[in-house]
């Protein structure tokens, strides 16, 4: 480790050489390397988290490839990455290696499910293996609730964040000290009621603010400065000039996850979540909750052709002329135009949001 490289950080109160060494040895998993994941991972890389020489690592987990529309806010990617359609974790790893060659970057091009989550995150109850911290760079609540289950079960700090349009939300959950995500949201919100970045847009400065708050908490934890955490949920909207903080409650004994230790999302079967449709250029994606098709149709209309019957909604995205969604009220969707399950799930999350 080059001593002068991190000097401006080492001199901060509470960090010093010892805190920097702890940061170097950290093993952090960043789930989702989109807008938030790019910004958070770059800051951690520049801060010297996960150095190979110290046994640390930054694991990047994402199922998607780089597209031109990503470049407005996803700061690790270039036009060349988009032209090549590179997996995001591959493009991100190359850029991060150029920023700080001392950091051990572990790219994981995979679709996170309940079936593979423990393996991908490096959690093993028998050996006690687990990451130092989980960074949320995801775009849907089903995955966040899965990560929340893992964080509580294995006692891993969970740095949650989200950005849509100009609005951002950030919170850090410490198992045993604070409540968990399910204490605040007992069940995932109805996806048909939620905007996504592709349907509502996203303001890049909002991404950077949320990621900055997320990584500041991560550095506090990893350097042994947990006492400096605010234990609150930050919510703001740069476009409407709104900002609030609310306290994260103590663990709730009635919470199914951190109170009763029932891990519904981790224990959910994953085998039938995605299925290629035989003889068709299509993949069926199983949703995680019922949809209000009328509300969803209203949200999707500005982004392509929408036709609705009593039991299903057909959506043809204007920017993807070879893609068609057939969406059912139970949350299922047939994504036509691909045979790649990871791609189908990514498109489902983009437009439907679950």
| CATH code for the domain of 43 | 3.40.50.720
Q: Are residues 306 and 213 in the same domain?
A: no
pLDDT number for residue 11: 96
Q: Is 255 exposed, middle or buried (0-12, 13-18, 19+ CB in 10 A)?
A: buried
Q: Are residues 22 and 121 in the same domain?
A: yes
Q: Are residues 243 and 280 in the same domain?
A: no
pTM: 0.83
Angle at 136 (CA atoms; ends 130, 139), nearest 5 degrees? 135
Is pLDDT at 278 greater than 50 in this prediction? no
Is 92 a domain residue? yes
| CATH code for the domain of 291 | 3.30.310
Instruction: Supply the range of the domain harboring residue 16.
Output: 3-247
Q: Are residues 99 and 159 in the same domain?
A: yes
Q: Which of 159, 222, 210, 227 is nearest to 6 (CA)?
A: 222
Cβ atoms < 10 Å from Cβ of 274? 19
**Contact criterion met (CB below 8 Å) for 228 and 216:** no
| Helix H or strand E encompassing 353 | none
Domain-terminating residue out of 247, 263, 284:
247
Q: Are residues 332 and 237 in the same domain?
A: no
DSSP lists the bridge partners of residue 30 as 60, 135
Residue range 102-151, pLDDT digits in tens: 999 999 988 888 999 999 999 999 999 999 999 999 988 989 999 999 99
Q: Which of 114, 123, 117 is nearest to 61 (CA)?
A: 117
Mean pLDDT of 153-181: 97
Mean pLDDT of 6-31: 97
Domain-terminating residue out of 247, 282, 306:
247
Residue range 292-323, pLDDT digits in tens: 999 999 999 999 999 987 677 899 999 999 99
Report the alpha-carbon distance of residue 183 to residue 260 in Å, rounded. 11
Q: Are residues 311 and 195 in the same domain?
A: no
Q: What is the mean pLDDT of the chain?
A: 91
Separation of CA 215 from chain center = 14
Active site residue 183: no
Q: Are residues 176 and 321 in the same domain?
A: no
Question: Side by side, which strands form the sheet with 27-31?
Answer: 105-109, 57-62, 27-31, 133-136, 158-164, 167-173, 232-237, 242-247
Helices and strands: H and E segment counts in the chain: 12, 14
Is pLDDT at 34 greater than 60 in this prediction? yes
Is 157 a domain residue? yes
Q: Are residues 131 and 23 in the same domain?
A: yes
**pLDDT band of 280, cuts 50, 70, 90:** low
Is pLDDT at 287 greater than 60 in this prediction? yes
Q: Are residues 10 and 54 in the same domain?
A: yes
Is pLDDT at 169 greater than 80 in this prediction? yes
The catalytic position among 197, 255, 257, 258 is 197
pLDDT number for residue 286: 79
Q: Are residues 75 and 216 in the same domain?
A: yes
Q: Which of 191, 193, 194 is nearest to 289 (CA)?
A: 191
Is pLDDT at 64 greater than 60 in this prediction? yes
Mean pLDDT of 227-242: 96
Q: Which of 28-37, 48-57, 303-312 has the lowest mean pLDDT?
A: 303-312
In whole angstroms, how far apart are CA 279 and each of 128, 276, 282, 283, 319?
Answer: 45, 9, 9, 11, 25
pLDDT number for residue 74: 96
**pLDDT band of 189, cuts 50, 70, 90:** confident
pLDDT number for residue 3: 57
Tally of domains within the chain: 2
Domain-terminating residue out of 247, 264, 284:
247
pLDDT number for residue 205: 97
Sorted by sequence, the CB contacts under 8 Å of residue 301 that are 6+ apart come out as none
Is 259 a domain residue? no
Q: Which of 110-124, 140-154, 186-200, 323-337 has the lowest mean pLDDT?
A: 186-200
**Rounded to the nearest 5°, which phi and psi values hold at 90?**
-70, -45
């Amino acid at each position: 480790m080059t001593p002068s490289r991190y000097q401006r950080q080492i001199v901060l109160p509470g960090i010093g050489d010892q805190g920097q060494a702890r940061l170097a040895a950290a093993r952090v998993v960043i789930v989702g390397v989109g807008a938030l994941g790019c910004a958070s991972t770059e800051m951690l890389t520049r801060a010297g988290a996960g150095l190979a020489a110290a046994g640390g690592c930054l694991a990047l987990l994402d199922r998607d490839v780089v597209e031109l529309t990503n470049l407005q806010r996803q700061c690790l990617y270039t036009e060349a990455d988009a032209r090549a359609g590179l997996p995001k974790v591959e493009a991100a790893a190359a850029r991060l290696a150029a920023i700080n060659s001392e950091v051990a970057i572990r790219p994981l091009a995979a679709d996170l499910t309940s079936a593979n989550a423990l393996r991908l995150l490096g959690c093993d109850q028998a050996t006690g293996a687990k990451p130092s911290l989980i960074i949320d760079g995801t775009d849907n609540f089903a995955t966040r609730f899965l990560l929340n289950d893992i964080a509580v079960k294995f006692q891993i700090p969970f740095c949650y964040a989200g950005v849509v349009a100009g609005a951002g939300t950030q919170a850090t959950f410490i198992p045993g000290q604070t409540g968990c995500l399910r204490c605040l949201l007992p069940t995932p919100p109805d996806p048909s009621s939620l905007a996504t970045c592709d349907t509502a847009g996203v303001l890049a400065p909002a991404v950077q603010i949320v990621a900055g708050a997320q990584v500041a908490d991560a550095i506090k934890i990893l350097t042994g400065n947990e006492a400096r955490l605010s234990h609150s949920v930050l919510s703001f909207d740069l476009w409407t000039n709104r900002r609030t903080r609310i306290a994260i409650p103590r663990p709730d004994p009635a919470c199914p996850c951190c109170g009763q230790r029932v891990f519904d999302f981790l224990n959910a079967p994953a085998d039938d979540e995605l299925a290629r449709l035989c003889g068709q250029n299509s993949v069926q994606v199983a949703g995680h909750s019922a949809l209000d098709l009328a509300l969803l149709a209203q949200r999707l209309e500005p982004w392509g052709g929408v036709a609705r019957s009593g039991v299903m909604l057909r959506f043809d995205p204007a920017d993807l002329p070879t893609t068609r969604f057939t969406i059912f009220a139970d949350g299922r969707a047939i994504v036509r135009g691909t045979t790649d399950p990871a791609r189908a799930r990514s498109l489902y999350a983009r437009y439907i949001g679950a």
